[in-house]
Structure 1
Amino acid sequence: MRLRLLMRRLTVSAPRMAVHSALPWPLRWVMLAIVAGFCAAIGLWAFEFGKDIAGLDKGNKAQLERLQQENAALQAQLSVLKDEHNRAQSVVNTADTLLTTEKVTQQKLSELNRKLEADNQRLRNDLGFFERLIPTSGVAGLTIRGLQAELLKTGELKWQVLIIQPEKNPAEFKGRLELGFAGTENGKPWSSLLPAGPQAVQITQYGRLEGVFAVPKNVTVTGLTAKVLDGQSVRAVHTLKL
């Protein structure tokens, strides 16, 4: 039986077979992609067509126009606010300039006031100086008309001596001024002369001498005496108590 079947397959009467070539897989994927893209295009067209029919795009356009109008209105408001800010900044700058000018003016006025006070004090000193130049009745010859002393904040003692010859057309005088200081040091008596010694004096009608004396530490000056010397003789003496 098996032999017959084998002989039938080998002879012409054996059943015929048809061979078909298979389609490659990459080509199959390409075909599927083309079909899917075509379907998607049809779906998108149907969606857009449906929106046109339903009027959805008109609503979006109207909303877009409204947003554009609101944006334009906001831009206009922003421009107005910028203008107001610029005007306010201009006012602030003007106010700052006025304040600066006022401060400068006040400083100048303060400096002028201090200068006027200094000039006034100098005029008072000069007035007192010239008042002491007025001759006193009964006084003849060289005399010490004024002796002043002032303790400065630095601890120094500023002194000033005015010497005059009240006669009319007096002869020139050449001599020396000896200035002595008296006081206490730690409760004990103390005295001192000018460190540089007597000062030269050369006057015709009047002369003013002044200087500064460095007061030693722990010393309290209570008075000073001015002497005008002509050689070894004393021509005038004046004592001032402090």
Structure 2
Amino acid sequence: MLISIDQVLTKTEVAQFRAELDTADWEDGARTAGTLAKAVKHNQQLQDGSALATRLGQHILRRLAATPLFVSAALPRTIYPPKFNRYADGGEYGAHVDSALMFLPDASRQMRTDLSATLFLAEPEEYEGGVLEVEGPFGVQQVKLAAGDMVLYPSSSLHRVTPVTRGARIASFFWIESLVQDETERTLLFDLDQSVQQFTPLVALGDARLVQLTGVYHNLLRRWSKP
């Protein structure tokens, strides 16, 4: 399931981010790549753990917590602290699959990567290329969203970023360990939750049908979530 989420950040917030990111010190993204990824990863990244990356990442996490569509789709247990990358001058990231397990920055424990997220911080007209291509059961889906919008997709997907031939593509990216590991179960819960939310304003809050639907959702979540 690939889901686009509009306006995780407002245009004002994006402008504030960019004022700092456009003058930041970027390093070679290959430094943080795995053995196989080094051969296909050609971009720049903000230094992990830097004051700027930490501050902007915490702001994103606060906004995500207040974004119902994200919570409904991801059912997050753990979110890897957001990272930041920049593609320019032909920069690209060839086909790859994200690591299944990652140590959190403090190395206290590992997390499973169920979902990957890209939060766009440059408008589509600012750069050429830089399309996120995600392979799924129905073929390749191409994603190039407005600044402030985000896409969620399965971390198990083969994906790539096409070469940026003009301008610069700037984004934040991170991973989510979900309370519900199975993608099919998570998708069913998302569809059911969206139906409940659409039905709610049409009936009284005590309507028996709404109570039953809500009960089904929570009982399935109880059954499928992992401790």
Do both share a fold (TM > 0.5)? no
Please say which structure displays the higher CA radius of gyration.
Answer: 1
The structure with the largest helix share of the pair is: 1
Give the TM-score band, short-chain normalised. under 0.3
TM-score by length of 1: 0.23
Larger RCO, structure (CA 8 Å, separation 6 or more): 2
